[in-house]
Amino acid sequence: MKSLVFYQGEPGSFSEEAAQVYFRASASLRPCAQFRDVFRLVSLSRHHSGIVPIENTVFGSIHETYDLLLKHPVSVVGELSLRIRLNLLALPGTRLRDVRRIYSQPQALGQCEDFLRRMEGVEVHAFHDTAAAARMIREEKLRGAAAIAGTRAGRRYRLSVLKQGIETNRRNFTRFIVISRSKVIPVKHPKTSLVFATRDTPGALFKALAVFAMRDLNLLKIESRPLIGRPWEYLFYLDVEGSPDDLPLKQALNHLRELSIFIKVLGTYERSASAA
């Protein structure tokens, strides 16, 4: 029996594509309406996994994902960087000059800002999902309307491609993380994600980051989020090369615990290359 993998979005979405690239044929994919649904379902069983976006090279971090990592008993067990190619899709027979309305997810619209600026006299409408916008056009047979979505959505909902590759930045990638209740031990290129909060004292963050620098550990990312219930104080999400099983990182984390009021290791997993 195949394990279940949950993703946010509709069939034809980039999240579904990321799930298929990462898991290939080893899992059965299940769409969810919201990010919180993915986390909730994954937390119910050690046999379930989920895949969710966490950052985009154009629009930055997806804060809801960071917040949900803190709330749920799951670990990050993998990652995938997926190249995002966006197309203008419409019902067969539609010409580019016929388009008067364009629908897509807000970040996708933002990623196509230059193209949309050139589309004079066209209304742009935010939709909750790229694939859902494509499905709506097919189901409602909307003439004079188009969706911005991926090739997968176009094929699934039998839409024609009016314009390919309309994203402004050709280096447009979204990083997805894989979550599970079961932890993994990466074989190579380990990467660890964690979250911590410092005391509200001068130099606290400097001292916290120094525990990695003094051991020559490479920090890959740091992200701050509000510490709920403590106005103007923050949690710091951090990615660092290495595994807590390795002595340098083990020592750094023990040192960090002495300096912090809160720390949680979110997962150790194999650092991935981009999926072009």
Catalytic machinery residues: 174, 176
| Pair type for strands 145-149 and 101-104 | parallel
Residue 133 backbone zone (phi > 0: left; psi -120 to 50: alpha; other: beta) = alpha
Give the dihedral sign, CA 153/156/159/160.
Answer: positive
**Mind giving me the DSSP string for 67-100?**
HHHHHSS-EEEEEEEEE---EEEE-TT--GGG--
Sheet containing strand 234-241, strands side by side: 219-226, 234-241, 190-198, 260-270
Give burial (CB, 10 Å; 0-12/13-18/19+) of 117: exposed
What residues contact 15, with CB distance under 8 A and at least 6 apart? Answer: 7, 8, 9, 51, 52, 53, 176
